[in-house]
Amino acid sequence: MSKTFAVAALLLCGCFAAAAQNAPAAGQQPPAAVEPPPVADKGTTSQWVCIDEQTKYTGSGKHLFYRIELTNKCEQRLKCAIFAYLVSGKGPSRGHTTLILAPKSSGAAATKVFEVKIKSMGGLGTTTRECRAF
């Protein structure tokens, strides 16, 4: 019993010592938590800065679609490959396309839309894109 108590006491002291090492010194402010930006694939653009993506389910007549709208927010032409995979109660749907986005100064040409035909509204899905300066 005393051996277990001794081990527990050592572990508890180690936790307090580790917390004290990470605490800021008197008069110091703790550093602000800075999240590093995601790492892009070699040759791809900083997509989190240059691309605005809007998605929604939509319909036209008897057809249902998952709509992916990309808008270029940078002053360079972009070539984006889009991959989508959606699953609903009626089965999976997938699509792939490549869109050329004009620079943001081109107005409406900087926005392109890709629609994947789906079998029913809702469900689960995932999309990804790979954009490169063109």
Q: How high is the pLDDT of residue 61?
A: 87
Does some domain include residue 35?
no
- Averaged pLDDT, groups of 10, the chain, 134 residues long: 59 54 61 55 62 90 92 91 93 95 91 93 89 84
When divided into structural domains, the chain yields a total of: 1
Is the entire prediction scored with pTM above 0.85?
no
Check if the beta carbon of residue 79 is closer than 8 Å to that of residue 134.
Answer: yes
Q: How far apart are CA 86 and CA 119, in angstroms?
A: 9
Q: How high is the pLDDT of residue 60?
A: 84
Does some domain include residue 95?
yes
Residue-range definition of the domain harbouring residue 91: 47-133
Does some domain include residue 11?
no
Q: How high is the pLDDT of residue 123?
A: 87
* CATH at residue 89: 2.60.40
Does some domain include residue 82?
yes
- 65: Cβ contacts below 8 Å, ≥ 6 apart: 57, 58, 59, 115, 116, 117, 118
